[in-house]
Structures are given as structure tokens and as C-alpha cells.
């Protein structure tokens, strides 16, 4: 957030929080999703650059029915449309992981669900890897994290509304 003394994502950089910080941003929900994954990938494999796309539940600043708006995308019904949108989450990762500043970019698509979003991260890594290695790294990291989970169940967004 603009004017914040620190941007903190728990599990990623919460150890940088200082008593002298007066205004603290906890970043966006998307940044809180993206940062722990990016941290593991960068630490273990080195991220050169990347693109994230968030498929995002609609939010309270979107219209529920089609209305007039100066931005044609913002005029459309959030409950009936997939709406391309901007996101600052990829850039915000650089605030919590400075070594990734300027390396990630992103976009969002708002979808007609009231809760639960997902992030798709595509990266160019500094070294070759395999799907099995990436999965093993994420599984291992999740076993030592309070914020990162790993599963292989056939779940959909509704399953996370509990």
C-alpha cells in the first residue's frame, strides 16, 4: 500500500517487521498466494522472470449488474462475466522479496464466484528442472510452512469454502 513503512506477507518476510514500523501493509490476497510459491521457486531454482495470472473471485468494488461506467470492463456484471483486469500482485512480490523486484508481471481475470481465487505462475528458471522436482520442492516446503499447502486431490473452488 502506498505510504506503508513495510509490506509484510506472513511466512515470507514477517521476520522483517520492526517495532519502528507505524503503517504496515499485509499486501493483497493475490500477493499472499503468489509470494510463498515464488519464494520457494526462487530459492531452489532461481527465477529469471515470470508471468502470473490470477483467476480471481469478484470483489465488492465490482458491479453486480451491467451499468454505465467510464471503463467498459468495470461496467459489466461481475456475477455473469469473466472480466479481464489489472493486478499489482506480481509487482508487489518485489516488495516482500526484493530479489524478485521487476522480474514478475501479471494480469487478472475476475470470474463469477464469490470466494476462492487461484494463481497460475509461469517462470523462466536459472536451471533446468522437471515437474517431479518442482512438485517435490513444493511438497517439502509445505511441510515446514504455516501458509503453504500441497495436495493432489481433485478439488474445485467450492471445496475450499469451509
| Domains (range + CATH), the chain | 28-147 (3.30.360.10)
Single out the catalytic residue among 10, 26, 29, 74: 29
Whether residue 1 is predicted with pLDDT greater than 80 in this model: the reply is no
Three-state secondary-structure class, residue 101: coil
Against a cut of 0.75, is the pTM above it? yes
Whether residue 10 is predicted with pLDDT greater than 70 in this model: the reply is yes
User: Can you spell out the DSSP letters for 120-133?
Assistant: EEEEEESS---HHH
**33 tagged catalytic:** no
Give 32's pLDDT tier (boundaries 50, 70, 90). Answer: very high
Amino acid at each position: 500500500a502506498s505510504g506503508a513503512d513495510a509490506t509484510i506477507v506472513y511466512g515470507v518476510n514477517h521476520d522483517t517487521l520492526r517495532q519502528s514500523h507505524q503503517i504496515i501493509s499485509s499486501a493483497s490476497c493475490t500477493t499472499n498466494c503468489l509470494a510463498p510459491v515464488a519464494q520457494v521457486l526462487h530459492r531452489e531454482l532461481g527465477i529469471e522472470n515470470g508471468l502470473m495470472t490470477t483467476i480471481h473471485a469478484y470483489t465488492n468494488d465490482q458491479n453486480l449488474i451491467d451499468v454505465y461506467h467510464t471503463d467498459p470492463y468495470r461496467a459489466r456484471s461481475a456475477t455473469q462475466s469473466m472480466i479481464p483486469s489489472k493486478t499489482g500482485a506480481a509487482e508487489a512480490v518485489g516488495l516482500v522479496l526484493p530479489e524478485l523486484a521487476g522480474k514478475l508481471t501479471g494480469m487478472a481475470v475476475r470470474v463469477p464466484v464469490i470466494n476462492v481465487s487461484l494463481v497460475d505462475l509461469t517462470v523462466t528458471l536459472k536451471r533446468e528442472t522437471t515437474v517431479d522436482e518442482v512438485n517435490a520442492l513444493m511438497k517439502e516446503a509445505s511441510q515446514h510452512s504455516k501458509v503453504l499447502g500441497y495436495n493432489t486431490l481433485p478439488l474445485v473452488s467450492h471445496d475450499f469454502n469451509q
